[in-house]
Structure formats: structure tokens, C-alpha cells
Copies of this chain bind each other. A is one copy, B any other.
Amino acid sequence: MKKITFYYEFASTYSYPAAMRVERVASASGVSVIWRPFLLGPIFAASGMTTSPFNLNPAKGRYMWRDLQRQCDAEGLKLVRPDPFPANTLLAARLATAIADNAARAAFSRAVYTAEFAEGKNIADAATLAPLLAAAGQDPAATMAAAASDPIKAALRASVAEAQSLGIFGAPTLTSPDGEMFWGNDRIEQAVAWAAKS
């Protein structure tokens, strides 16, 4: 089956509608989605940025929230602004990394985005995330333990390093097996079309 790899960061605003629709767009073209959580913080830091570009540039931030609202309206998705923004996503990203099954990782990840951006919950809190693990068919205690283990910490660091080596600078980013890269919720259709024909 044709594949596309979906790199996402739980704090990334446009990753929210992207995560909620990427499977729909991909499956319509017979493309499967590989869910790859990573962290943008270390990549931003390597460029000298200490927070989200949307905080660093207030005009861009104001626009992003309005544009995101329009995208969410078009998708029928509720949108609340996480506080603080960006959220601390280290635990959520480690948990998603610890889930070996791609479909379960996708289900958990969509639930995290919904908690964060539709319900305004604090996704840095294990108490928020544990029920989402259970709903995705995972054992919360075992997955929390795995997320705190050295191999999973190392696996997430490796994902960040891989993303950086691919030239990924933002999220969501989609990559095709032949090395093409697409950045943004608004490039999902193009990424899927590329993967479908290649």
C-alpha cells in the first residue's frame, strides 16, 4: 500500500485539524498514514527560537488564531486556545512514541489534540492523558512506565533528530517514501496525491 509519514507535534496548532482529517484524505486515495510524533522545541531552539514563532511575532500569531478558527469551522471542529500556549508536550509525545501500534497511536494522538484544542485540557498532566490511553486500548500504567523508560526517551530523541536531518522545521509535515516533503495542514491533499502517484 502507498504510504505517507505524518510528523506531528502536540503543541502545533495546525497539527490539530491535520490530525483530525489526514486519515480521511489519505484513505480516499488508498494511502496509509504512518504517525510519527516529534518535538519542535529542540528544532526551534537550534534556530535560536525560544518559543512558538506565533508568540515571537504577535501579528503572525493573531492571524494564525483567526486562520485556524476558519480551518476548524470548515472541518466542524471546536477550537479553544490552550493556556499556556504552547503546551508542554514532552509526556504526550513520549506516550505516543511508546504506543507500538500505529492505529492505536493515531487514536491516542487524535484524542490528545481534542483534549487540548477542543476541550482546553492540560495535556502536560498525566491525569488528562491516562484516560485517553485507556480509550485507545492501551494500559495506562504500563504505557506511562514505558514513556518514562530510557529506550522510549531515546526513541523520541531519535525522531526529533531524524526530523531535523530531513529538514523539517515545522508541523505538521508529511513526507513521501521518495523523499518529497510537504509542510502544513493545507498541504495534506498534495502530499497524499504525491504518495498516491509515486
Binding site for B on A (CB under 8 A): 47, 57, 59-60, 62-63, 66-67, 70, 167-170, 181-183, 186-187, 190
Contact = CB atoms under 8 A, between A and B. Distances in A.
B60 A190 contact: no
Contacts of A63: 167, 169, 181, 183
B181 A66 contact: yes
Contacts of A167: 59, 62-63
A172 to B, nearest CB: 13
Contacts of A47: 57, 59
A168 B168 CA distance: 26
A31 B120 CA distance: 38
Nearest to A173: B63
A101 B190 CA distance: 37
A60 B170 contact: yes
Nearest to A164: B59
Nearest to A57: B47
A119 to B, nearest CB: 27
Contact of A190 (B70, B181, B190): B70
B57 A169 contact: yes
9 contacts: A47-B57, A59-B167, A60-B170, A62-B167, A66-B181, A67-B182, A67-B187, A70-B190, A186-B186
B181 A60 contact: no
A168 B66 CA distance: 13
Contacts of A187: 67
